[in-house]
Amino acid sequence: MNEDFVEFRRGVIAPLECIKEGWALIKDQYWLFFGISIVGILIGGAFAIVLMGPMMVGVFLCLQQRQRNQPVEFGTLFKGFELFVQGLVVTVLKFIPVFVLLIPYYIFLFGMMATMRSRQINSPDDANQFVFSLFGFEMVFGALMVIVSAVVEVFFMLAYPLVADKMISGFDAVKLSFRAARANLGGIVGLMLLNGLFSFLGVLCCFVGVYFYLPVAFASQAVAYRRIFPDTGTNFPAPPPPPGDWA
């Protein structure tokens, strides 16, 4: 299916409602989805670019089955490997902005190190100047990395659920995710901020709290996705609704 034929709704994301509905979606099977989320993140994170895609697609396959009132099994997580290439493409495209940002970072960092080796540091003032310069650079780069990562997360949020739901190509899923996220930008940013806040509160709870919130965060994204892309019961777009509600 081409992404140009997939319709989506605009301005339908209420962040707090998505989190409440996400919790309601999984609460009676919380430990199942906890296991699915943790295993998906651990396997995907251990092999980074290669397995993160199919693992995330598998997580959303499980959540979408739950939304359709279909039975969910732990093994459903690994059905993401049936869409391995699509998930891999999404992950590679998602990492490109970070890689692009890392190139000048390492060039500048190695340049500073080479300058330090070529110069003699004869006084505490010289050493302090170098340390402060390096610290300032790290602060600026860290802030830039946070901003870029946040923007990437917002515009890629719908890509994995799209692969799971519509089985379109990874490239088409990314393009459609960008279009739908732009049409629901305020709601998606709000949802990301709320999930980030609750995750941070989880970190404060001896760090482990963030893992217990993880399935709720994924479920809230699944709810947001389904609000933007209502389930038609098939992988084909529904008949056009009245003008004004859809993109």
φ/ψ of residue 9, rounded to 5: -95, 155
Confidence of residue 236 (pLDDT cuts 50, 70, 90): very low
pLDDT value of position 123: 60
Tens digit of pLDDT for each residue in 176-222?
999 999 999 999 999 999 999 999 998 888 778 899 999 999 999 99
Spatial CB neighbours of 229, under 8 Å, sequence gap ≥ 6: 6, 7, 8, 9, 158, 161, 162, 165, 166, 180
Helix (H, G, I), strand (E, B) or coil at 9: strand
Tens digit of pLDDT for each residue in 148-187?
999 999 999 999 999 999 999 999 999 999 999 999 999 9
Confidence of residue 119 (pLDDT cuts 50, 70, 90): low
Give me the mean pLDDT over the 130-141 stretch. 77
pLDDT value of position 113: 72
pLDDT value of position 238: 40
Top mean pLDDT of 4-8, 94-98, 206-210 is at 94-98
Give me the mean pLDDT over the 95-117 stretch. 80
Beta partners for residue 246, in sequence order: 9
Give me the mean pLDDT over the 67-79 stretch. 95
